[in-house]
Chain A
């Protein structure tokens, strides 16, 4: 691709530009470490964000802390951008006491934390889209300028709740950002067997809302498109369906073998378009980054990850009887 001199999007400071890179890097390095921990038997399960970091950090960065995000199970980049710490994510990965997402109840990858205005999700795909619509309805009813943003994979757009959510949001012109992280596969099934259209965003037309497709591996393009959609929501001009074309460069999960459904050449080609490497070059061209800083930041993150691994490995599991708590509110109604 021919490159012109990169331009920073409006509203992003130099620190903001660098922070986006650091969040993407944390997501990648943490995810890589989770795979090795899984392979040496320290944890039963990984669901991966690798390859989708630009999509995830890019859309999340367009939001304010008081907006509500409803992530899906691959969105570790979103959780990191919202402020979940390496330590917290590692506790969740090990299923240990103190995991702020679920205290070890859910599999890794099921992000949720009220402190971060990030709604808890399940393993059931697309159901969360309707939650974001309800949240946005409440925001609009109270005449707030907040928005709800919800993410999902392209495979899940075959589900009925996808269409029901778009329908509701467009009828009431709700402040929702619908983010489809289109990585081309529903586990093993390629997009051409999931839908007849080339772009998920084309479906927006049927619901009278803007549908936008951008390169999901270009974090600044993702950010700019998300900002535009978020501003539309804040103005009261309704929802947007934003499609981010990206790729997961590792198997669906630690229990998947992607060699049976996609060629190594295809994976390799996408690795050449690595979103983190691309953005690193952009920052270097902007004069905001260099190899030395990169090395230092990587070392810092790695050290923090190793400390988190150490702590999470030693941390206790929740007590067995703790499984009986919070089925219902306690007597005080909490």
Chain B
């Protein structure tokens, strides 16, 4: 089976979808001749032509808004936002329009589109190439919000997203693009949206995470195992709709839970996961739920010292886990 990193898996998913269905097309800044600034669409303009691989004007609202119109008329657009940090001009189109079209038309119209965006920090991207603003979309019923953490899941989830009848926001952690490789099958397969995965089984505590932080949590879990602490790592994979069952089943088993995410701590995805556990599993717990998250400052600074200071790390996660075990 071929081994791929995440960026190759994403490109392969788009290629597979475009080959199978001529309604699928891509639009975004630099996605054509340049192949995307991260090369997610490299080679596709040569294969599928300019009408299906559109180098858009530099205007995010139009990328989302035009994609909505394409979807209304029966196409299956994949809109790329160059960085999640620059998605904000498109948020009006995504939240006011795409997310509400089916609902406001009482199922008469729908918007089957995917909005891809590289997100996340730890790449010396500074304030405006490091953000984790996924919480914005997690708060919007009508959208689905997907964040893969492995190449295999990235391809399978992206193929699910392209086939999905509703708008899907698809966040790809840019540090993961080339960080890990694994076996990723050729051709078509899917990973279902809305299902979390137990990335590492364990009995003593549950670490709930997504994106790059899953890998940091797995590193922390390996370190903890040396001291005899078995952490279970849950990879959410989809933030909306949230897989409540997988989270609650794990927490009821381990009786200790922490949520690790790189978005700002306050009202980040961990707030919702914590509330979920509090509502449904409070009396199963042996200790309060703990959050390890990005700092509550406007964004991640550029310089290395403050970047590390901002981000959760395997070490910070392991230390927090030890504290959780001691409480």
Give A residues with C-beta under 8 Å from B: 68, 100-103, 105-106, 110, 112-114, 119-120, 122, 124, 127, 129-139, 141, 148, 160-161, 164-165, 167-168, 171, 325-329, 333-334
Name, among A114, A127, A134, A141, the residue most crowded by chain B CB atoms within 10 Å (CB to CB): A134
**How far apart are B56's CB and chain A's nearest CB, in angstroms?**
8
Contact A131 B72 (CB under 8 A): yes
Q: In the complex, which residues 77-135 of chain B have their Cβ closer than 8 Å to any Cβ of chain A?
A: 77, 89, 92-93, 96-97, 100-110
Contact A161 B69 (CB under 8 A): no
Q: In the complex, which residues 46-100 of chain B have their Cβ closer than 8 Å to any Cβ of chain A?
A: 51, 56-57, 59, 61-62, 64-75, 77, 89, 92-93, 96-97, 100
Contact B66 A122 (CB under 8 A): no
**How far apart are A250's CB and chain B's nearest CB, in angstroms?**
25
Within 8 Å of chain A (Cβ to Cβ): is B141?
yes
Contact A130 B68 (CB under 8 A): yes
A190 to B93, CA, bound (A): 27
Q: Count A-B pairs with CB separation below 8 Å.
A: 132
Q: With A130-B66, A134-B72 as given contacts, are A328 and B108 in contact (CB-CB < 8 Å)?
A: no
**How far apart are B42's CB and chain A's nearest CB, in angstroms?**
23
Q: Which chain A residues border B66 with CB–CB below 8 Å?
A: 130, 133-134, 137, 168
A160 to B75, CA, bound (A): 25
Contact A328 B102 (CB under 8 A): yes
Contact B101 A160 (CB under 8 A): no
Q: Which residue of B lies closest to A140 (CB)?
A: B51
A107 to B66, CA, bound (A): 25
Q: Which chain B residues border A120 with CB–CB below 8 Å?
A: 101, 104-105, 108-109
Within 8 Å of chain A (Cβ to Cβ): is B166?
yes
Contact of B69 among A113, A132, A160 (CB under 8 A): A132
Q: Which chain A residues border B67 with CB–CB below 8 Å?
A: 134
A268 to B152, CA, bound (A): 69
Q: In the complex, which residues 151-167 of chain B have their Cβ closer than 8 Å to any Cβ of chain A?
A: 165-166
Contact A328 B142 (CB under 8 A): yes
**How far apart are B34's CB and chain A's nearest CB, in angstroms?**
18
Contact A161 B61 (CB under 8 A): yes
Contact B166 A328 (CB under 8 A): yes
Q: With A102-B105, A160-B61 as given contacts, are A138 and B92 in contact (CB-CB < 8 Å)?
A: no
A176 to B73, CA, bound (A): 14
30 pairs of residues in contact across A and B, judged by CB atoms under 8 Å: A105-B103, A112-B104, A112-B105, A113-B108, A114-B108, A120-B101, A124-B92, A124-B96, A127-B93, A127-B96, A129-B65, A130-B62, A130-B69, A132-B69, A133-B62, A133-B65, A133-B69, A134-B71, A134-B73, A134-B75, A136-B69, A137-B70, A138-B69, A138-B70, A138-B74, A138-B75, A164-B57, A164-B65, A167-B59, A327-B103
**How far apart are B48's CB and chain A's nearest CB, in angstroms?**
12
Q: With A130-B68, A134-B67, A135-B73 as given contacts, are A105 and B104 in contact (CB-CB < 8 Å)?
A: yes
A230 to B68, CA, bound (A): 22
Q: Which chain B residues border A105 with CB–CB below 8 Å?
A: 103-104, 106
